[in-house]
Amino acid sequence: MSYNPSIELTGNILLVDDLPENLQLLSDLLLTLGYSVRSVTNGRMALKTAKIKRPDVIILDIKMPDMDGYQVCQAFKADEELRDIPIIFISALDDVFDKVKAFWSGGVDYISKPFQSEEVLVRLENQLAIQRHKRSLQDEIARRKETEEMLYQSRALVTSVLNSVSDGIAALQAVRDPNTGSIEDFRCLVVNPVIARIFDRNREDLIGKLVLRRFLERFSPVLFEQLINVVETGITLNTEICYPSDPISWYQIIVVKLGDGFTVTLRDITSSKQVN
C-alpha cells in the first residue's frame, strides 16, 4: 500500500507486547507514518506508562507472562483515570472465543497476526477519529455548560436590578397579523414589579400575555400608535403621560426599539408635576 504523505496522521500510541521483535515491527511502521509511539513489554509497565502520559490508543498483545492481555485490559477498565482509553487487541489467537473474550474484557477492536500494515492503520485511525469526535463533543458540552452558567448569572443579575430599581421596566414583542404583517398588539416578555403595580396585576399574569392594547385604549389610544411607530421606524419615544389613577399619576416614558418589539422605562414624575 502506498500512503499519501499529504495526509497528516497524529496520535500517541502505546504498544504492549512481551516480544521485542513484535514491538519493533509495529513501532517502525507507526513512527514512519507520523505517530508518537511508546513501547512496553508487560501489563504493569503499561499501566504505569499510561498514568505518566495518557495515550490516545493502546495496541495490546494477548499472550504475555504474569498478566495476559485480557487481565491488562480489565485493569485499565477498572482504573477511573484510564478506563476511557480505547484498547485494540493484536494476537495470533484467531479463535472466535478469543475474540469474544477480548471484547468482553473491554477491547474496542481486534487485529489478527500476521497483520497487514493497511489493516492496522485503518483500525487505528478509526479509533483515533472516534476519540477526536468524543473530545470535540466533550469540549462543546463544557462550552455550553459555561455559557448556560453565564446566562444564569446574567439573568440573576438582571432580575436583581429589575426588582430593585424604582423605575418601571418592561420588554415587549410585537404580535403581527399573519396576513398583513401589521402590529395588532404587544406580548409582555419582561416585567418588573413597578410595572406590575401600575397595571395592578401580578407579574405572572402579565408575562406572555397580550394586555397592552386593551390597557392603553382606556386612557391613551394615541400612545399605542406611537409604540407601533417606535418598532416600525426605530425612532425612540420620550414623552410624558397622565395615568388616571386615584390620585392621578404622571410618568415619563422612554421607549426604545428592541428586535421586533421595544423596551420601555416608566419614571414617576408626579411630585415634580405637582410642584410645577
Per the structure block, which three cell numbers stand in for 146? 459555561
Q: What is the mean pLDDT of each run of 10 residues along the chain (276 residues)?
A: 49 93 92 92 95 95 92 95 94 86 94 88 92 89 89 76 82 93 92 84 86 81 92 94 82 93 91 74
DSSP classification of residue 217:
T
262 phi and psi angles, rounded to 5 deg: -160, 160
Hey, where are the domains in the chain? 12-136, 165-275
Nearest to 112 by CA among 97, 90, 127: 90
**Residue linked to cell 499472550:** 63
Peptide bond into 114 cis (omega under 30): yes
Please report the sign of the dihedral spanned by the C-alpha atoms of residue 114, residue 116, residue 120, residue 126: negative
**Residue linked to cell 516480544:** 19
List, in order, residues 6 or more apart from 117 with CB less than 8 Å away: 1, 29
The class that CATH gives domain 12-136 is alpha beta
Which CATH superfamily groups domain 165-275?
A: PAS domain (3.30.450.20)
Segment (H or E) for 111:
strand 109-112
Residue count of the chain: 276
